[in-house]
Amino acid sequence: MKLASLNSENRDGALIVVSRDLSRAVSAADVAPTLQWAVEHWQSVQPRLQELSDALNAGDVPGSFAFDQTQVASPLPRAFQWLDGSAYLSHVELVRKARGAQMPESFLQEPLMYQGSSDYFTGPRDPVIVASEDWGVDLEAEVAIITDDVPMLCTPEQAKQHIKLVMLVNDTSLRHIIPAELNKGFGFLNGKGVTAFSPVAVTPDELEAHWDGAKVDLALSVHVNDELLGAPLAGVDNYFDFSRLIAHATQTRTLTAGTIIGSGTVSNHDRSRGFCCLSEKRALEVVNTGKASTPFFKFGDRVRVEMFDAAGRSIFGAIDQQVQAFKH
């Protein structure tokens, strides 16, 4: 089942069900007004949404319409909680190596995670608005999940049943702002720009054999200005799958339905797979040559993030954004 939030006057959008091939959609208003409402009432609404999805895929739903990825918000246009992890330590290790720092052994035992801004997310085709190119504008292509209500001290095995939806992320990072913020010892704030999610969120069963219950094993494709930046495998070199990330987040608290958890930048030790962020490519250049030659984004640059099934079909639709200057 694939779900999306059509842009509307409601800040949380209007829930629609999308066909498997992303060609058609139908309103889910009679079942659930918004995705947030659906996740909060998942046990009762999921069967009805599934029936609607099955009928749509069979071509038997009155009122269906052509699905337009430019007309949707992020699946959750805003969320009560957005937690971003760092499950791919090959990314952490390389970036730290480029600045002459070792990765602490503790990073292998417990995931890094921060709580990001979630009062609004941009749509998957909305521009990335920044005030200055000097901020070091970068992308971070990730996989994310949406949970239902999760109890405190949830075990990794228990956590799997709380993963209701999967989607993709472009988490904008402002690399020249981040170091000074981190040096304060209080975490990210201004160093993280707008966050966008894929046009649709999918139930794990849509991923079929490529979902093991806690992670997806497919390549995450990233293009910058129509050139392939990389297609690392999301199921490889994943030190902390989503069950581990949920367990970590619930050590001292519960999670409310609609909580989004990101994997962090997808990255492989096999650098021939390319990269899901510019900073990782720059870090490898520093390690190999002593100097980074790849620039961060300039105004007018575009980024596209997408994931395809074994037959080459887009699963989540595409995050496709242009970097634009903020205007007063």
Consecutive H or E run containing 220: strand 220-224
pLDDT of residue 92: 81
Q: What is the DSSP string of 154-184?
A: --HHHHGGGEEEEEEEEEEEETTTHHHHHHT
pLDDT (0 to 100) of residue 84? 97
What is the reported pLDDT for 214?
97
pLDDT of residue 104: 77
Q: What is the pLDDT of residue 257?
A: 98
Question: Helix, strand or coil for residue 324?
Answer: strand
3-state secondary structure of 20: coil
> Which residue numbers in the chain have pLDDT < 50?
none
Q: What is the dihedral of CA 239, 243, 245, 251, to 10 degrees?
A: -130
Q: What are the structural domains, with CATH classification, of the chain?
A: 2-71 (no CATH), 75-325 (3.90.850.10)
Token pair of 212 as six digits:
């093991």
pLDDT score for 107? 79
Alpha-carbon distance 192 to 180, whole Å? 13
Global pTM reads: 0.96
d(C-alpha 41, C-alpha 47), whole Å: 11
Res 62: pLDDT: 93
